[in-house]
């Protein structure tokens, strides 16, 4: 019990869960309760279906969600385009714009509500597929970052919160203003896509009847964009679900008491430093890394802040442990680097400093593990998450 309290004292979320996240979590838990699985125990990786089955079912769920999303985007846009097609130049300006604006806002609301519902339903289905049956808070995660929260944020495309754990600053190399700008540009993409097409057509075709006909181009554009958005949602949800599974596996089945007793104090510290530096170099606090970091720090009983995200300190520590323990840390470093599904520019620059002459081997391992996570091959990814004190 004291361990849990101490862990939570090192955890700080800059802002509480927003309205969309709270609504998403409530609906996710409603889906779990409605399906009668909210009290079921989570399955282990070995109890799940083979990779081919997992991948096939996940891809079918993703395809179905994308088709529905395309239909929703196209149909809601058809209504708005029909209003413009039918009444442009037929009504007085005030009446036309009042009608057109009202219909656009109504259809946008319908589109967003259906997409949010579809995203949550699909994400919940993927969670059931990967054995995440329980909708209650994950006992290994402090605060508001249980599985329902990280999945609701993925489904609704809500940015992950900035979290400080053990004094680690995920924004050490990135400004908040840049994060805000990226978020605003991302949300504006669909509007900018349609607007750009219309602008080009107007410039090319002038203002005649032919131009009015081309406003129908926005129908498939919106449908395709909504389908792509749902594809990204399901891809990110799968990454989070599989990463969560592997973090549990590493902390509970790999980091056994027997293995922990073999580690020196420096190596235990180095394990936390390895994950902490990947959080910083990735320039985000991806939930997979948070789960891995929290579980490792609790398993290894690391509870105090100690500048764990200092890369130079980690490199020095690699020279202070035995050769076998160094390989253990490099294995863990490569696993952590793959957990968010991509390598940042900083990771690509700094990782070779730690891997040294084994850079090629470890970078290949990272690429393979990333691909396995993104394509839903959980059993194969598990086999690659080994900490065997051997090089590569």
SS3 per residue for 301-328: CCCCCCCCCCHHHHHHHHCCCCHHHHHH
pLDDT band at 8 (very low <50, low <70, confident <90, very high): very low
Which pair of structure tokens corresponds to residue 47?
């109890």
Sign of torsion over alpha carbons 350, 183, 229, 145? positive
The closest of 137, 178, 128, 129 to 25, measured between CA atoms, is: 137
Element housing 11 (H / E)? strand 11-13
174 phi, psi to nearest 5 deg = -145, 140
Q: What is the b/e burial string over 273-284, where b = at least 16 CB atoms within 10 angstroms of the residue's CB?
A: bbbbbbbbbbbb
Residue 325 contacts residue 264 (beta carbons within 8 Å): yes
Residue 290 contacts residue 145 (beta carbons within 8 Å): yes
Say whether pLDDT at 172 is over 80.
no
Residue 246 contacts residue 287 (beta carbons within 8 Å): no
Say whether pLDDT at 129 is over 70.
yes
Say whether pLDDT at 123 is over 50.
yes
Taking the alpha carbons at both ends of the chain, their separation in whole angstroms is 38
pLDDT band at 161 (very low <50, low <70, confident <90, very high): confident
pLDDT of residue 1: 36
pLDDT of residue 319: 93
Question: How far is Cα 251 from Cα 385, in angstroms, rounded to an integer?
Answer: 11
pLDDT band at 221 (very low <50, low <70, confident <90, very high): confident
pTM of the model: 0.80
13 phi, psi to nearest 5 deg = -100, 125
| C-alpha neighbours within 13 Å on the C-beta side of residue 234 | 27
Which pair of structure tokens corresponds to residue 265?
């104090």
* Percentage of the residues of the chain whose pLDDT score is greater than 90: 28
Of the listed ranges 4-18, 318-332, 374-388, the least confidently predicted one is 4-18
pLDDT of residue 7: 43
């Amino acid at each position: 019990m004291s361990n849990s309290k101490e862990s939570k004292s090192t955890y700080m979320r800059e802002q509480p869960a927003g309205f969309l996240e709270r609504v998403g979590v409530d609906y996710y838990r409603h889906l779990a309760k409605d399906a009668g699985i909210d009290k079921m125990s989570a399955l282990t990786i070995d109890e799940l279906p083979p990779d081919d089955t997992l991948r096939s079912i996940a891809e079918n769920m993703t395809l179905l969600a994308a088709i529905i999303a395309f239909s929703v985007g196209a149909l809601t846009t058809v209504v708005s385009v029909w209003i413009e097609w039918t009444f442009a130049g037929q009504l007085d300006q005030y009446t036309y714009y009042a009608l057109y604006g009202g219909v656009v806002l109504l259809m946008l609301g319908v589109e967003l509500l259906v997409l949010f519902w579809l995203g949550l339903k699909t994400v919940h289905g993927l969670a059931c597929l990967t054995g995440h049956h329980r909708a209650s808070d994950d006992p290994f995660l402090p605060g508001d970052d249980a599985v329902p929260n990280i999945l609701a944020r993925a489904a609704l495309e809500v940015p992950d919160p900035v979290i400080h754990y053990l004094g680690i600053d995920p924004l050490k190399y990135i400004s908040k203003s840049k994060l805000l700008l990226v978020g605003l540009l991302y949300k504006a993409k669909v509007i900018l896509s349609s607007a750009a097409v219309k602008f080009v057509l107007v410039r090319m075709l002038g203002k005649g009847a032919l131009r009015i006909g081309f406003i129908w181009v926005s129908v498939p554009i919106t449908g395709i964009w909504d389908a792509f958005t749902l594809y990204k949602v399901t891809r990110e949800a799968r990454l989070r679900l599989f990463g969560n599974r592997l973090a549990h596996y590493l902390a509970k089945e790999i980091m056994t008491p027997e293995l922990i007793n073999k580690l020196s104090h420096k190596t235990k510290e180095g394990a936390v430093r390895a994950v902490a530096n990947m959080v910083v170099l990735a320039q985000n606090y991806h939930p997979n890394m948070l789960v891995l970091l929290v579980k490792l720090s609790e398993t290894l009983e690391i509870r105090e802040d100690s500048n764990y995200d200092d890369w130079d300190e980690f490199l020095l520590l690699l020279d202070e442990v035995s050769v076998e323990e160094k390989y253990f840390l490099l294995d863990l470093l490569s696993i952590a680097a793959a957990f968010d599904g991509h390598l940042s520019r900083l990771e690509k620059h700094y990782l070779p400093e730690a891997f040294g002459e084994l850079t090629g081997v470890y970078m290949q391992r990272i690429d393979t593990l990333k691909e396995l996570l993104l394509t839903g091959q959980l059993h194969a990814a598990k086999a690659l998450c080994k900490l065997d004190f051997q090089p590569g």
